[in-house]
Amino acid sequence: MRKLIWLLLLLPLSVSAQINTDRVMTIARNALYFEDYVLSIQYFNQVINAKPYLFEPYFFRGLAKINLDDYQGAEADCDIAIEKNPFVVGAYQVRGLARIRQEKFDEAISDYRTALKYDPENLVLWHNLTLCHMQKKDYNEAKSDLEQLLKVAPRYTRAYLMRGEVSLRQNDTIQALKDFDQVIKMDRFDPDGWSARAVVRLQQGEYKLAEEDLNQSIYLSVRNAGNYINRALARYHQNNLRGAMSDYDLALDIDPTNFLGHYNRGLLRAQVGDDNRAIEDFDFVLEIEPDNMMATYNRALLREQTGNLRGAIDDISRVLEKYPRFEAGYFRRAAIRRRVGDKKGADQDEFTVMKMQLDRRNGVAQADTKQQTADEASEEGEESDENAKTRKKSNRNMNNYRKIVVADEDEMSQRYTSDYRGRVQDRHVNVKLEAPFALTYYEKMSDVKKGVYYHRVMDELNQSHLFPRLLKLTNMEAPLTEKQVNFHFAQIDNHTTDIVANPTDARKRFVRGLDFYLVQDFASAVEDFTQATLLDDTFFPAYFMRALVRSKQLEYKKAEEQGADVSAMDYEVVRKDLDRVIELAPDFVFAYFNRGHVLASLKDYRAALADFDKAVELSPNFAEAYYNRGLTHIYLGNNKQGIKDLSKAGELGIVAAYNVIKRFTVVRE
């Protein structure tokens, strides 16, 4: 068998045009589709070296780079793609996104306007164009964009949410509420509609109504830290301190680095006398923002309470260096200095306080006082309400140090993201089956460990010493790093040498097939797995992996070739391979799971249920099997049984199950 992939990397430029660029381009796009971005870039490089006059490899390489946060590189690739073919909408789309991420909003607007000439009904183009105008605070243009977008897609809820956001920024809460009400009316399962309306109600002081809206949003999207932060604020204004504290705890479980969560929880802990844990919160705030003088002063007061008098003096001294007219600071430091026996320092602080009081009484304003007041006013952005229970995050008036912090309007309101293709329309839980399992060396890290999957064949294969790394069974495959990509290219070359020396060894064919699979060369992988089955028709891992690779080929074909004809007959070869695996290893639970996945994809739900039932029977803690069986029941209209299975899947570690349960449970009014 040809050493295609490894040879691609070794070919000099003088013969680069001899490579099969169509084949390599297919492999590259396949890698891109399955989010193996580093690998895809290497393949696109090969096509560019062979045929530098093509625009496609530059465009797709730019798309890969944008997914790796290389926005400058993505923009440069799109520049070349557009130079070679100025009529490709996608190139403007991706370059516009790269420019947004670099805050080049005018250039991004130019790209989106050009793209809309060629594709005037593209929702994503209108969406991103609107975002650019919002970022520039050009709200009239943003609303004009949204009017056009709603003509194209009158039921596109993101447009109503963005228009409500624009109205809020223009202080038009009446219009904002109308748009958010419309979102809820159109899609009561959209958590953003409830949370957006809650923000308006918080601003209006309708705290009970805001809490009710946030309850709904949290019910639909339990992992959104911002919702808990906002609900804590609503509860605080209703004097429900215990509820507010609980919400800050939940927010910090989801987002441990959340500034507002730590700062406000620190204030509430101080109010209830939990001084040591309050200090921990302010320590964390000061790790994020070392120059936050409000947090520094609050920590000083807590250090005094807990007996760390020297630490308290150090903190207050730092505050007074920044705000030399902060009267309360001198008063507090004087008292602490007396406690540590520093009579002279205490006298100096008390004298400073007395002088400041006399100056104020006599109408004398010193230069540093004026400057401090000006600085605070500019940081606040508006006049401070001394009687308010809260302060804006941007407010730096030290006299407000005990007030709960709320986000500024642009942080508190709905966040929107720009995106490529149609993913912007798929913001909520994507209700789809858990992916099939694979034999591989690499697994994504998960916040919730669902367990280590095992079968006796794993031990046999790993103890054979044929494999360069420990084999794993997982359905959370990790994309390869550049180092791993190069390693597996080298492995292909090494295994080819072994196969030439011993062409009848099925396992060596299988090992190389895995390498081809990992570098996304599915055609070569299928060929090797097929050869392995011909050499040893009882070696079931080869059938298992061939079925997986073929199913991925079909998935890619459906997704990338719009209108591609993928029939039940195409999946029949996949099913036959899994039938053979089950015949050879009836206790191999992952074959039942993968076959159930295939059958469910073909909408043969009752047959799929039988396979998921068997998977659960063989492995009672198989979280993914419960999840897929639950969805399959729901597809058949058996919501009660489906929710029961989804609940079990959530219990076993699939957090997304809870979101799906909520989508198939009636939302309370």
DSSP string, 413-476: S------STTGGG--S----PPPPPEEES-B---SS-------HHHHHHHTTT-SSS--EEESS
For the chain, percent of residues with pLDDT exceeding 90: 72
601-630: per-residue pLDDT in tens?
A: 888 999 999 999 999 999 999 999 999 999
Query: What's the token pair of residue 4?
Result: 């295609």
Q: In this predicted structure, what is the pLDDT of residue 431?
A: 75
Structure token pair of residue 124: 């994503």
Domain assignment present for 214: no
pLDDT (average), residues 96-102: 94
Which residue did the predictor score with more confidence, 558 or 165? 165
Confidence of residue 417 (pLDDT cuts 50, 70, 90): low
If one compares 9 and 375, the residue with the highest pLDDT of the two is 375
Query: What are the two backbone dihedrals, phi and then psi, of residue 390, each rounded to the nearest 5 degrees?
Result: -130, 165
Per-residue confidence (pLDDT) for residue 360, from 0 to 100: 83
Report whether 499 contacts 508 (CB < 8 A): yes
- Pull the structure tokens for residue 115: 């793209």
Q: Which tops the pLDDT comparison, 489 or 431?
A: 489
Residue 576 has pLDDT above 80, yes or no: yes
Average pLDDT over residues 180-184: 96
When pLDDT is averaged across residues 420-446 and rounded to a whole number, the result is 70
Q: Which one, of 151, 125, 35, 25, lies nearest residue 425 by Cα?
A: 125
Find the CATH number of the domain harbouring 558. Answer: 1.25.40.10
Q: With 50 as the cut, is the pLDDT of residue 662 above it? A: yes
Does residue 649 register a pLDDT over 70? yes
Structural contact between residues 625 and 652, judged by C-beta atoms closer than 8 angstroms: no
Burial of residue 362 (CB within 10 Å: 0-12, 13-18, 19+) is exposed
DSSP string, 208-230: HHHHHHHHHHHHH-TT-HHHHHH
| Residue 264 domain flag | no
pLDDT (0 to 100) of residue 562 = 59
Say what the pLDDT of residue 365 is: 57
Q: Residue 638, class by beta-carbon neighbours within 10 Å (0-12 exposed, 13-18 middle, 19+ buried)?
A: middle
Per-residue pLDDT averaged across 53-81, rounded? 94
Tens of pLDDT along 125-142?
999 999 999 999 999 999
* Number of domain units in the chain: 1
Does some domain include residue 644? yes
Is residue 322 domain-resident? Answer: no
Task: Report the alpha-carbon distance of residue 104 to residue 357 in Å, rounded.
Answer: 50
Domain that holds residue 446: 441-479+538-663
Distance in angstroms (rounded) separating the CA atoms of residues 32 and 574: 23
Residue 648 lies in a domain: yes
* Alpha carbons 56 and 78: distance in angstroms, whole number: 10
Residue 427 pLDDT: 37
Span 584-594, average pLDDT? 96
- Taking the C-alpha atoms of residue 579 and residue 630, their distance in angstroms, rounded to an integer, is 23
The whole model's pTM is what?
0.76
pLDDT at 409 over 70: no
Answer yes or no: is 414 within a domain: no
Lowest-pLDDT range, 112-121, 233-242, 362-371?
Answer: 362-371
Confidence tier at 407 by pLDDT (50, 70, 90)? confident
